[in-house]
Amino acid sequence: MLAQQKVFAVLASAAVAVLIVELVRRRRLLPEFSWLWLLTAGLMLALGLWYDLLLFLTDLIGAVLPTSALFTFAFLFLILLAVHYSVRMTGLTHQVRALSQELALLRAEMEADRERAGAGDGK
Amino acid sequence: MSAGRAVAIVPAYNEAERIGAVLSALKAVEEVAEVVVVDDGSTDATAEAAASHGVRVLRLPVNMGYGVALQTGFKYALRAGFDHAVQIDADGQHEAACIAELLAPVRAGETDLAVGSRFLNGGPPYPIGALRLGAIRFFAALTAAFIGQAVTDPTSGFQAMNRRVLTLYASEGYPCDFPDADVLMTAHYAGLRIVEVPVVMYASRKKTTMHSGLRMGYYLFKLLLSIMLARLSRGRIEREYRDACAAEGLRRPR
């Protein structure tokens, strides 16, 4: 692997790590989600510095070129990430549904109580 | 006290113009002790129109869809202690005068769920498009095959139910996204008894319904998926329903 490629891999992974930490610090990203991105940065760094690992992975999946292996893993990772967010969104949708229903029921209950109190005052 | 009497659940989205007639018709139904309108985040004056008829209005803060609105009504009915409930559309499609016949087998304890069918009395007094009719017949055959009894109108949203069904419908297992034939399967797998009762239905006066346009394609896909999932989730449905019944202090029917 060329030194140029190594420098790029190190800089790119460092940039991702800094961005994630900064987003968490500014509360724009939940720590819950940050581990996934920090892991991504770590993997980028590992593959950039440790070329033999990339060659091993290329051989493992039967790819011809290390770049093909890299893109395959990146693609799989993005698919898994999309599934992960779909699962999270489903959970959030269920929560929003339950909260909206509870809000409607409590509001009706509150209005009924207020009406009863108003009727009581009028007596 | 609502024991022995029924609540009518009316989910409504942008029905300010039509809901008044439905509520007036419901007032004339002796069997209905209370009417509850679930305003599904309407952008028109649906909630105000309903409130002006002196009925209880549950207002969802945002538009959540027909199934979520219905389930809100089921939760209300359960909490308010009603023994029976009727779900009826707000667009005037369902004939309120049929509620007595729809409720009769439920109140008599002959069934848990009574589904109003527009096809048992020779069909509805309005034309149904070939595509829609084909879809209804296909899902009727599919549902009948799975639950082992004849079904003529699996997409009917005109239903009467007892507290056991309310418990199921208010639980997590209720398919809120386009509840239709999959609801009947869920009820069947929960061990509930289902009958169809002939009712009168009219053509919806809404320009667009949840079964129109591009949504029809998604509706068909989703319904097919839900039916398959209901079939695959038999055990989970039974288990969850058993837990829900235990929480409500109800005995399971069988």
What digits encode the pLDDT tens for the residues B68-110?
999 999 999 999 999 999 999 999 999 999 999 999 999 999 9
A107 CB neighbours in chain B (<8 A) are: 58-59
The verdict on B2 touching A (C-beta cutoff 8 Å) is: no
pLDDT at B132 (0 to 100) = 81
- Rounded Cα distance between A29 and A38, Å, is 12
pLDDT at B213 (0 to 100) = 62
Q: What mean pLDDT do residues A56-81 have?
A: 89
- Rounded Cα distance between B28 and B11, Å, is 19
pLDDT at B231 (0 to 100) = 87
- Rounded Cα distance between B137 and B151, Å, is 9
B235 C-beta neighbours (distance < 10 Å), count = 9
- Rounded Cα distance between B128 and B211, Å, is 12
A interface with B, Cβ–Cβ < 8 A, is 94, 96-97, 100-101, 103-105, 107-108, 112
Interior CA angle at A45 toward A42 and A51, to 5°?
Answer: 130
Does position A91 have pLDDT exceeding 80, yes or no?
yes
B58 C-beta neighbours (distance < 10 Å), count = 27
Q: pLDDT category, B216, cuts 50, 70, 90?
A: confident
Complex-level ipTM? 0.82
pLDDT at A116 (0 to 100) = 86
B126 exposure class (CB count in 10 Å sphere: 0-12, 13-18, 19+): exposed
Token couple for B138: 């296909």
The residue behind tokens 């009820």 is B187
Q: Each residue of B3-34: pLDDT tens digit?
A: 478 999 999 999 999 999 999 999 999 999 99
CA-closest candidate to residue B188, choices B173, B204, B170, B209: B173
Sheet holding B159-162, edge to edge: B56-59, B32-39, B6-12, B84-87, B159-162, B113-117, B194-198
Token couple for B8: 């009518």
pLDDT at B2 (0 to 100) = 42
Q: Each residue of B150-162: pLDDT tens digit?
A: 999 998 999 999 9
pLDDT at B3 (0 to 100) = 47
Does position B1 have pLDDT exceeding 60, yes or no?
no
The residue behind tokens 């399967």 is B185
pLDDT at B252 (0 to 100) = 63
Q: Are A107 and B59 within 8 A, CB to CB?
A: yes
Does position A122 have pLDDT exceeding 70, yes or no?
no
The residue behind tokens 């033999």 is A52
A69 C-beta neighbours (distance < 10 Å), count = 21
Does position B205 have pLDDT exceeding 70, yes or no?
no
The residue behind tokens 């929560």 is A95
- Rounded Cα distance between A9 and A44, Å, is 7
Query: Looking at B44-93, which runs of residues are DSSP E strands?
Result: 56-59, 84-87
CA-nearest residue to B39 within chain A is A104
B72 CB neighbours in chain A (<8 A) are: 100-101, 104-105
- Rounded Cα distance between B56 and A59, Å, is 68
> Distance between alpha carbon A64 and the CA centroid of its chain, in Å?
31
Distance set, CA B34 to CA B26, B29, B57, B106, B158 (Å) = 9, 10, 11, 17, 17
Helix (H) or strand (E) holding B194: strand B194-198
pLDDT at B211 (0 to 100) = 58
The verdict on B80 touching A (C-beta cutoff 8 Å) is: no
B68 CB neighbours in chain A (<8 A) are: 97, 100-101
CA-closest candidate to residue B152, choices B189, B188, B115: B115
- Rounded Cα distance between B13 and A75, Å, is 42
- Rounded Cα distance between B69 and B164, Å, is 19
CA-closest candidate to residue B196, choices B140, B238, B241, B145: B140
Distance set, CA A66 to CA A6, A54, A61, A78 (Å) = 14, 6, 10, 18
